[in-house]
Amino acid sequence: MTRNFILYFISIILYNSINFLKCGEQNIPNCLQCGIGDDENKCTLCEDKHFLLFNNLLCMRCNDLTYGQIGCGGNCDGSQYEKTGIPLCYENDCFQQFYNIEGICYKCNETSPHCSNCSYEYQNGSKEKIFKCLGCDEPDLKVLNKRDGQCHKCLVSNCKKCDFDINDNDICEECENNYYVNNAKACTKCGWISISGGRYYYCPDKTSEIKSFECYGGYAKGEGYNCLSCPTGCSSCSYNTQTKIFHCASCTSSRYYLLNGNCNSCPAHCTSCNLNQNNMPVCTSCHTGYYILGDICESCGSNCNSCNGNKCGSCKTGYHLDNGECIKCIDNCETCKKESNETTNCTKCYSSYALDSANNKCMHCPDNCNSCYYQNNDFICTSCYGNTILLNNKCLPCPSNCN
């Protein structure tokens, strides 16, 4: 394939978009000035952003895909083409996405990821040229010169509008839904915060900080975001911030009755009560040792545990029941019973006493004896106090050198 045919082929491809200049017998595209004499068929000056190629028989664009540099957007020098294989781009004539090192245009993003605009020049009195990224290829990326001079994306979790401060630290200006910007410029999840007697849902934004506020059972909403304890006996209530008065809606137990928004205690010794038709409290059950008499609870008696009307049904310790009355046992006797012969016999003595059944007496155990029984006119110790030892049914002191 002859050189003229190659030039003709290239000319046909570029015919529709290139101006030609006839130099001798040659139509040379993008040529501004032809040679003279023996060089009349050659071009000596190409149009702007072009360079001479093939022994000055063709003007090619500096950024031609085949013969030029795709990164060279301005003028270039093809005089060293035979050595370099590409034209050398002038100092400031690389495209914005490239930077120039000795005439070669390098992509910014090959040196620094996502860098779309950069420079390669002396900076701040430096002795050597330094690469510097000037812009990024995505709107949410930014060059952080106080970090490493590269493109970074603001990475704050759950952030809707992220940016960088003057020190190139990631900060959030606006968080996603259900998150808020905290003092550290990060995003904190909104949530319930406990207070005395209740809680509130904290999620600050431009209009309101507290989204919801509630009090637990037994508390009422007061002024501001405060929960006030209901009055004694109230299980649920409300509070009028103007009159400063509580209004009970229910009571904590049957020991109280509700009347006019207040929980009042039932009459003395009542475990439950109701209101009669006159809104007066009427006892419906009593504490142990009391019985209902009319609307109130009356005592069964000082020694009765339970009674039916004014008759005892069971007695306290140290007494026995006899025809609805509680009769005291002998001294130091815990339980006793009435025999058929109308005598009252002790069946069990208090601790540290022994029962003498023959004489119906409760006798104190000997010294140092914690528990005992009485048999054959003698005490039998079963356990001892403190620094004593049980030996032959007696509690004897330990030797002086015994721990």
Structure-derived torsion over alpha carbons of residues 6, 7, 9, 13, reported in degrees to the nearest 10: 140
* E strand or H helix that includes residue 202: strand 198-202
Burial (CB < 10 A; 0-12, 13-18, 19+), residue 270, is buried
Return the sign of the alpha-carbon dihedral for residues 327, 328, 330, 332: positive
Q: Enumerate residues 6+ apart whose C-beta is below 8 A from 58.
A: 7, 10, 28, 29, 43, 52
3-state helix, strand, coil in the chain (%, to 5): 5, 50, 45
Entry pTM: 0.47
Q: CA-to-CA distance for 22 and 111, rounded, in angstroms?
A: 44
How do the pLDDT tens digits run along the chain, 403 residues long? 444 445 444 544 444 445 788 887 888 888 989 988 888 888 889 999 999 888 888 888 898 888 888 899 899 998 888 888 889 999 889 998 999 998 999 999 988 999 999 988 888 778 888 899 999 988 888 988 888 889 998 889 998 888 888 888 889 988 888 888 888 899 988 888 888 898 888 887 655 566 678 899 999 998 888 899 999 999 999 999 999 999 999 999 999 999 999 999 999 999 999 999 999 999 999 998 888 988 999 988 888 888 887 789 898 999 998 888 888 999 999 999 888 878 889 999 998 999 998 899 999 999 889 999 999 889 999 999 888 889 899 999 888 777 6
Alpha-carbon torsion, ordered 198, 250, 235, 240, to 10 deg: 50
CB 155 within 8 A of CB 149: no
- Token digits of residue 178: 């259900």
SS3 83: helix
